[in-house]
């Protein structure tokens, strides 16, 4: 079962990367068409793709995107934990009984799942109940729990949350989410700035058409990336919930944890408290939003109950 899920997520990751690279190239070419003041849109594409005209913006965009993706992969821990105080709980170097208990829970899950890796475990100071997992691969992955979550959940519920996050790592969807999050933000930034590059009314029809397409993309791309993130995130949450229930041998601890976390969010909206938007799509429960990347708690509980 897990091999099939991993293969599917690897395929999704490859498709998403190819899609985003293709969009990046198209955006870069459109800006280049404006830059060279092409007389026709198709003629501009042909000249740039055959290097009759050097696609300077496109090449620079790809280099910058590759650099940012590489930086995000290399520094994902600092990026995601930034904005809050946090502490790594290292096996054998725990300082409190709470840290020792969390370390034991993770060790139990690693042993019960027969894994050949142990994610790094972080306790993050935050006034809200939540958790997330991230990383490029299983062997450099991490699981982060907020202090409020640890204080308010029972042991089996904390274990279920950690099993949920461990399932994300086992399914290799942490890589998919990392790539989508980084590339989406870069792409939207480039489109917004691309519209204002080389301002002025071009005399040539091709350049004007390219600028108009970029203006349309300013409104279309945010919706496209949102739909893509919602599709990927919602399917991954259902899989991780099922993975947690499978590891625990019981779906009730996961259900109780989801109910307590969502109940806390129902009483207070913490979206303005969390100053780091890069991890919002990674949380086990999303903030209250009209277009949430997470499925509803009711639907997740129904799925766990087999309804």
Candidate list 99, 157, 165, 237, residue with the active-site label: 165
Residues 45, 34: Cα–Cα separation, whole Å = 11
For residues 225 and 188, the answer to whether their CB atoms sit within 8 Å is yes
165 is catalytic: yes
- Per-residue 3-state assignment (H helix, E strand, C coil) for 116-155: CCCCEEEEECCCCCCEEEECCCHHHCEEEEEHHHHHHCCH
Residues 167, 273: Cα–Cα separation, whole Å = 27
> How many CB atoms are closer than 10 A to CB 297?
18
Of residues 227, 185, 196, the one with CA closest to residue 24:
185
Name beta bridge partners: 132. 144
Residues 177, 172: Cα–Cα separation, whole Å = 9
For the chain, count helices (H), then strands (E). 11, 4
Token digits for 83? Answer: 């904005």
Residues 99, 101: Cα–Cα separation, whole Å = 5
Q: Give residues with Cβ within 8 angstroms of 168, minimum separation 6.
A: 133, 174, 236, 240, 243
Q: 277 in helix, strand or coil? A: helix
Q: 87 in helix, strand or coil? A: strand
The total number of residues written for the chain in this structure: 307
Which residues does the annotation mark as catalytic?
A: 165
């Amino acid at each position: 079962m897990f091999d099939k899920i991993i293969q599917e997520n690897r395929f999704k990751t490859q498709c998403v990367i190819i899609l985003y690279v293709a969009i990046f190239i198209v955006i870069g070419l459109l800006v280049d068409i404006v830059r060279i003041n092409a007389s026709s849109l198709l003629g501009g594409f042909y000249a740039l793709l055959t290097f009759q005209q050097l696609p300077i913006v496109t090449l620079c965009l790809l280099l910058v995107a590759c650099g940012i993706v590489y930086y995000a992969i290399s520094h994902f821990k600092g990026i995601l934990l930034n904005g809050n105080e946090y502490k790594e709980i290292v096996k054998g170097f725990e300082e409190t009984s709470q840290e020792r208990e969390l370390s034991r829970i993770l060790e139990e899950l690693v042993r019960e799942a027969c894994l050949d890796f142990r994610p790094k475990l972080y306790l993050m100071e935050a006034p809200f109940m939540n958790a997330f997992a991230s990383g490029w691969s299983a062997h450099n992955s991490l699981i982060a729990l907020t202090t409020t979550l640890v204080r308010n959940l029972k042991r089996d519920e904390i274990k279920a949350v950690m099993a949920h996050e461990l399932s994300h790592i086992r399914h290799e969807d942490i890589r998919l989410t990392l790539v989508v999050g980084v590339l989406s933000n870069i792409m939207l930034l480039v489109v917004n700035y691309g519209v204002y590059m080389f301002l002025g009314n071009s005399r040539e029809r091709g350049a004007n058409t390219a600028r108009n397409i970029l203006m349309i993309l300013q409104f279309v791309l945010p919706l496209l990336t949102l739909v893509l993130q919602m599709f990927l995130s919602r399917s991954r949450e259902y899989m991780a919930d099922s993975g947690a229930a499978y590891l625990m041998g019981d779906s009730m601890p996961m259900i109780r944890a989801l109910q307590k976390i969502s109940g806390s969010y129902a009483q207070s909206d913490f979206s303005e408290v969390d100053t780091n938007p890069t991890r919002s799509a990674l949380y086990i429960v999303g903030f209250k939003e009209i277009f949430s990347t997470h499925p509803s708690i009711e639907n997740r509980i129904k799925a766990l109950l087999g309804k």
